[in-house]
């Protein structure tokens, strides 16, 4: 009986190691893609995350009862804020600062090894929570919570993008801002395009 338990533990260690090795290999391949291909891949990943969490709005929120399209701004003002200005400052506040502060703490501490998963989760949590006040004010607590979940999932991709560019000594702020701009542009324009086609 003891041999079976020890064999199971040994098998679990092998599988866990092989899964980590696969994940590491995948990260290595993805992070070494040319910049344009990497950003398009991250765009697709973030869009998939948004699509996966979007049904929560339909299930828990009566989307017909309020208009969140521009929060009282004109389309031009919304475009400027959401596509040009917002992504740059959000990248600084919710990817750059948390990731750089954590990196600084890891560098100063001789005992701690960098935990990139924890760093990504922290950055994504801050990014998600930042979206709560405005959306809760417009659509209520449930709408705000769903927006936090949606933004958290997208924040995972944005934080990963920032870390990849930071680790390969690229311009992480610019690359992450461009990805965020691409996402916000698509989120803003696709509903309008759908209305025109319909």
Output the pTM of the full model.
Answer: 0.83
pLDDT of the residue at 1: 47
Q: What angle separates helix 116-130 from helix 132-139, to the nearest 10 degrees?
A: 40
Whether residue 92 is found in the same domain as residue 42? yes
Collect all residues with Cβ–Cβ distance below 8 Å to 141 and sequence separation of at least 6.
none
Whether residue 115 is found in the same domain as residue 42? yes
Whether residue 7 is found in the same domain as residue 46? no
CA–CA gap between residue 129 and residue 135 (Å, rounded): 11
Whether residue 170 is found in the same domain as residue 185? yes
- 67, two tokens: 């208009």
Residue 4, pLDDT > 60, answer no
Whether residue 3 is found in the same domain as residue 56? no
| Structural domain boundaries, residue 68 | 34-197
Residue 143: name the closest of 87, 67, 34 by CA.
67
Whether residue 15 is found in the same domain as residue 100? no
**Average pLDDT for residues 54-80, to the nearest whole number?**
72
Whether residue 12 is found in the same domain as residue 64? no
Phi and psi at residue 155, to the nearest 5° = -60, -30
Whether residue 6 is found in the same domain as residue 68? no
Whether residue 117 is found in the same domain as residue 22? no
Q: In total, how many domains does the chain have? A: 2
Residue 57, pLDDT > 70, answer yes
Residue 69: name the closest of 197, 196, 190, 198 by CA.
190
Collect all residues with Cβ–Cβ distance below 8 Å to 183 and sequence separation of at least 6.
43, 46, 47, 50, 87, 154
CB neighbour class for 193 (10 Å; exposed up to 12, middle 13-18, buried from 19)? exposed
CA–CA gap between residue 129 and residue 122 (Å, rounded): 11
Whether residue 90 is found in the same domain as residue 175? yes
DSSP per residue, 162-181: HHHHHHTTS-HHHHHHHHHH
Cβ–Cβ under 8 Å, residues 122 and 21: no
Q: What is the pLDDT of residues 141-154, one digit of tens each?
A: 888 899 999 999 99
Using 50, 70 and 90 to split pLDDT, how confident is the model at 187? confident
**Average pLDDT for residues 63-68, to the nearest whole number?**
58
Q: What is the pLDDT of residues 90-148, one digit of tens each?
A: 999 999 999 999 989 988 887 888 888 999 999 999 999 999 998 888 888 888 899 99
CA–CA gap between residue 88 and residue 82 (Å, rounded): 10
Whether residue 77 is found in the same domain as residue 9? no
Whether residue 62 is found in the same domain as residue 123? yes
Q: What is the pLDDT of residues 9-20, one digit of tens each?
A: 555 555 555 677
């Amino acid at each position: 009986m003891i041999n079976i338990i020890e064999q199971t533990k040994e098998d679990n260690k092998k599988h866990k190691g092989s899964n980590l090795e696969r994940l590491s290999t995948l990260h290595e391949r993805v992070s070494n893609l040319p910049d344009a291909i990497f950003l398009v891949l991250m765009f697709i990943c973030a869009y998939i995350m948004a699509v996966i969490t979007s049904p929560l709005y339909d299930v828990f929120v009566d989307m017909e009862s309020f208009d969140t399209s521009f929060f009282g701004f004109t389309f031009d003002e919304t475009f400027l804020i959401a596509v040009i200005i917002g992504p740059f400052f959000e990248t600084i506040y919710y990817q750059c600062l948390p990731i750089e502060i954590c990196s600084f703490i890891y560098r100063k501490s001789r005992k701690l090894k960098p935990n990139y998963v924890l760093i990504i989760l922290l950055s994504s949590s801050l990014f998600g929570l930042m979206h709560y006040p405005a959306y809760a004010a417009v659509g209520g607590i449930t709408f705000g919570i769903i927006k936090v979940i949606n933004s958290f999932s997208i924040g995972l991709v944005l934080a990963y993008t920032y870390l990849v560019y930071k680790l390969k000594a690229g311009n992480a702020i610019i690359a992450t801002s461009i990805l965020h701009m691409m996402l916000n542009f698509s989120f803003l324009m696709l509903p309008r395009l759908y209305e025109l086609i319909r």
